[in-house]
Amino acid sequence: MINIKRNKQFAASVIFLMLIIGVSCKVSVPSDLTKESLIPKPVSVTSTGDYFNLQEGAVIYVQGGNEEIKKTGQYLAGQLKPATGLDLEVVETTNAPGAGNIYLTLDAGFSAGGNEGYELSITKEIVKITASAPEGLFRGVQTLRQLLPVTAATAETEPIKMATGVITDYPVYAYRGAMLDVARHFFGVDDVKRFIDLMSAYKMNVLHLHLSDDQGWRIEIKSWPNLTIHGGSTQVGGGNGGFYTQEQYSDINVVDLSYNGL
């Protein structure tokens, strides 16, 4: 009798443990868009209580005849591939696409927030970003990215789903900047570009690159070579310092915060 009782208790414990594991391993399905952590916080977020499933074979459709929109679509595709594992094609169109896809389009009648304002609409059928200018579409793309997995490894174990609803957003301040002090501590071209990537991901739009101070001179002036020979050789705390050639600086300078991202 004692063995039977113990066996029943053991079996009950195993079943209870399996139920706990099953519940904890269940993949959660997003359904409330207002619960998503978005940075910066959008002006308006409304939820419709369902979800959109991004799957293999989806296409990023962009309004035809505008190279800037196409560029934003290609940027989005490039960012989604490492994040989701999906290799999405970018296709120009003059008509609203069918279900299961992403659509970027301009609407001259969209007036919220000027050039950087946008509306991100997610239904069970389609994801649509609308703006009055390409800058707004790019800002909307950055918000869309925050609703998706960080790495493809996450996407391999969980469905790529987004809660449905509407996000309307635009900047409160036209000037939203950050300073990178390369005079005191030198950062190479790739580091500066990475900094710009991070700025644009959070919708900042002005970079203040601090190029000269008593600790270092960081830009080449061909007619005054001693500025970089001596002034570019040091930095705070020792180290070799460094400077940007005019070609390198031009390469950094053409990076547009409106269209560059992570």
Model confidence at 144, pLDDT cuts 50, 70, 90, reads: very high
pLDDT of residue 20: 53
Which residues lie below 8 Å from residue 225, measured CB to CB, with a gap of 6+? none
Q: How far apart are CA 69 and CA 167, in angstroms?
A: 20
Does residue 218 carry a pLDDT above 60? yes
Give pLDDT tens digits for 92-141: 999 989 999 999 999 988 888 889 999 999 999 999 999 999 999 999 99
pLDDT of residue 176: 93
DSSP per-residue codes, 19-78: HHHHHHHSPP----GGGS--SSPPSEEEEEEEEEE--TT-EEEEETT-HHHHHHHHHHHH
pLDDT of residue 24: 43
Does residue 10 carry a pLDDT above 60? no
Does residue 152 carry a pLDDT above 70? no
pLDDT of residue 261: 39
Give pLDDT tens digits for 60-98: 999 998 999 999 999 999 999 888 888 999 999 999 899
Q: Where in the chain is the domain with CATH 3.30.379.10?
A: 33-169
Element of type H or E holding 198: helix 189-201
pLDDT of residue 23: 43
CA torsion, ordered 11, 12, 17, 21, to nearest 10 deg: 90
Q: Find where tokens 């992570």 sit.
A: 262
CA distances in angstroms from 2 to 6, 7, 12, listed in the order given = 6, 9, 15
Domain 33-169: give its CATH architecture. 2-Layer Sandwich (3.30)
pLDDT of residue 11: 56
Return the closest-CA partner of residue 259 out of 59, 66, 76, 113: 76
pLDDT average, residue stretch 185-213: 94
Using a cut of 0.85, tell me whether the model's pTM lies above it. no
